[in-house]
Amino acid sequence: MEDIHETVLLREAVEALVTDPDGVYVDGTFGRGGHSRALLEKLSAEGRLVAADKDPAAIAVANEVAQGDDRFAFYHGSFSCLSHQLRCMGIAAVDGVLLDLGVSSPQLDDGERGFSFLHDGPLDMRMDTSRGETAAQWLAAAAQEDIA
């Protein structure tokens, strides 16, 4: 299945976010890299972009974006851990943060992810398929009061 995802309000989000082309920016929900690619186009050679995503499928895309671009760094994990990650990278402050929250069309289109209402598949529903219990595991162990 081909991953086709059109980033909504891409130009508007990037124009509003990048106020200093030499600044440090964060894309906390990298996904398929649409926002990150557009942000990198707006940044100067001195600008920097740190991106993160929980979805293991984002890693390969991030590796493509990172090819030969020292301005870009990727962190596989939740944006909730980014402040620690930024400190570890020696970054004390950022000029802007982008969070495109929710599931993306590739996640909805892939029945194996467990989010799809169009395709049959296992009841997974994890953003990071390498961690935590699946929705099916949770449902099997949950009390009726917790489900209702």
Residues 31 and 53 in one domain: yes
- pLDDT of 4: 55
Residues 79 and 142 in one domain: no
Residues 82 and 119 in one domain: no
Structural domain ending residue among the three candidates 59, 82, 98:
98
> Exposed, middle or buried by CB within 10 Å (0-12, 13-18, 19+), for 58?
buried
- pLDDT of 1: 43
The ranges of the chain with pLDDT < 50 are: 1-2
**Can you give the pTM of this predicted structure?**
0.76
- pLDDT of 33: 93
- Other CB atoms within 10 A of residue 77 CB: 15
Domain range for residue 117? 105-147
- pLDDT of 5: 55
Structural domains in the chain (count): 2
Residues 87 and 109 in one domain: no
